[in-house]
């Protein structure tokens, strides 16, 4: 069943990851947009790549909608596309085991800050976590999650040693 037009994304984040590689022969574009998980929930119990033609048709509709969204702002964009692939919240849920396909990790709710299990240390010897889910959300949260983990690995006062080194540079 198609998504009604008013529910399709009206905006998105457009990025060209391959432009960061000066040696790249071809280029890639990435469009990130929000869609309600409930549009995909009927396929939740079906495994990846086995969700049927309705799901494939829905993905095609969304893909074309996103390409047209960019095309309106950057005419000629769609003519550059050789291949398009769409991930849905179910895709993210399958590969990342994230709740309802959330792409940014643990939800930012007050209860999050009161969880003792959120952090860099794990019960498994020599296994540490890093990133936004060990500190706070966003780019800065992910960066500081890395600094926190590196600080733990650098022993007593490791965090302060790292911060002092950063401040000197």
Task: State whether 130 and 77 are in the same domain.
Answer: no
**In sequence order, what DSSP letters do the residues of 25-84 get, joined into one string?**
SS---EEE----GGGTGGGTTSPTT-SHHHHHHHHHHHHHHHHHHHHHHSTTTGGG-S--
pLDDT string in tens for the chain (169-residue length): 677 777 888 889 999 999 989 999 889 999 999 888 999 999 999 999 999 999 999 999 999 999 999 999 999 999 999 999 999 999 999 998 888 888 777 777 788 778 877 889 999 999 999 988 888 777 788 888 899 999 999 998 998 999 898 888 7
Tell whether 96 and 114 lie within a shared domain: no
pTM: 0.68
pLDDT in tens, 36-85: 899 999 999 999 999 999 999 999 999 999 999 999 999 999 999 999 99
Same domain for 81 and 32? yes
pLDDT at residue 1 in the model: 64
What is the residue range of 84's domain?
5-101
Domain end among 53, 84, 101 = 101
What pairs with residue 32 in β-bridges? 13
- Whether 116 and 87 map to the same domain: the answer is no
Q: Both 13 and 68 in a single domain?
A: yes
- Confidence (pLDDT) at 8: 86
* 86 and 125 both lie in a single domain: no
The token pair that represents 16 in the structure block: 């060209």
| Distance of alpha carbon 44 from alpha carbon 89, whole angstroms | 10
Same domain, 96 and 118: no
How do strand 30-32 and strand 13-15 relate by DSSP bridges?
Answer: antiparallel
Total domains in the fold of the chain = 2
- The answer on 67 and 144 residing in a single domain is no
Does residue 119 share a domain with residue 91?
A: no
């Amino acid at each position: 069943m198609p998504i009604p037009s008013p529910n399709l994304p009206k905006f998105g984040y457009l990025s060209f990851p391959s432009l960061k590689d000066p040696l790249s022969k071809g280029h890639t574009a990435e469009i990130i947009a929000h869609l309600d998980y409930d549009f995909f929930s009927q396929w939740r119990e079906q495994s990846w790549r086995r969700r049927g033609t309705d799901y494939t048709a829905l993905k095609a509709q969304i893909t074309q909608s996103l390409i047209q969204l960019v095309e309106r702002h950057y005419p000629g964009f769609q003519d550059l596309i050789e291949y398009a692939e769409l991930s849905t919240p179910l895709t993210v849920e399958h590969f990342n085991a994230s709740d309802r396909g959330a792409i940014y990790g643990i939800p930012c709710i007050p209860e999050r800050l009161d969880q003792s299990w959120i952090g860099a240390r794990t019960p498994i010897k020599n296994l540490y976590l890093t990133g936004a889910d060990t500190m706070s959300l966003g780019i800065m949260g992910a960066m500081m999650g890395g600094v926190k983990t590196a600080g733990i690995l650098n022993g007593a006062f490791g965090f302060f040693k790292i911060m002092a080194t950063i401040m000197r540079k």
